Amino acid sequence: MASPVAHSFAGFWTFLLFARQLQIRLAAHWREYLPQLGILVLLANLPDFDLFISFALLGNGDLHHGFTHSLAVGVLVALALSWVWRITTTFWRSALLYFIAYGSHLLIDLCTGSRLGWNNSGSGIPLLWPLTKKFSSPLILVPGVLHLDLAALFSMENARSSLYELLIFGAITAILLALRARHLRKG
Is the distance from CB of 164 to CB of 143 less than 8 angstroms? yes
112 DSSP β-pair partners: 142
> What tens-digit pLDDT sequence spans the chain (187 residues)?
889 999 999 999 999 888 877 666 666 677 888 999 999 999 999 999 887 777 677 665 566 678 899 999 999 999 999 999 999 889 999 999 999 999 999 999 999 998 999 998 888 999 999 998 999 999 999 998 877 777 777 889 889 999 999 999 999 999 988 987 887 777 6
The two beta strands, 142-143 and 112-113, are parallel
With a CB cutoff of 8 Å and minimum separation 6, the contacts of 36 are 15, 18, 87
Tell me how far apart the alpha carbons of residues 63 and 55 are, in angstroms, rounded to a whole number.
8
Tell me how far apart the alpha carbons of residues 67 and 161 are, in angstroms, rounded to a whole number.
25
Predicted TM-score of the model (pTM):
0.89
Residue 140 three-state SS? strand
Cα distances (Å, whole numbers) of residue 65 to 11, 51, 95, 119, 132:
19, 8, 23, 20, 12
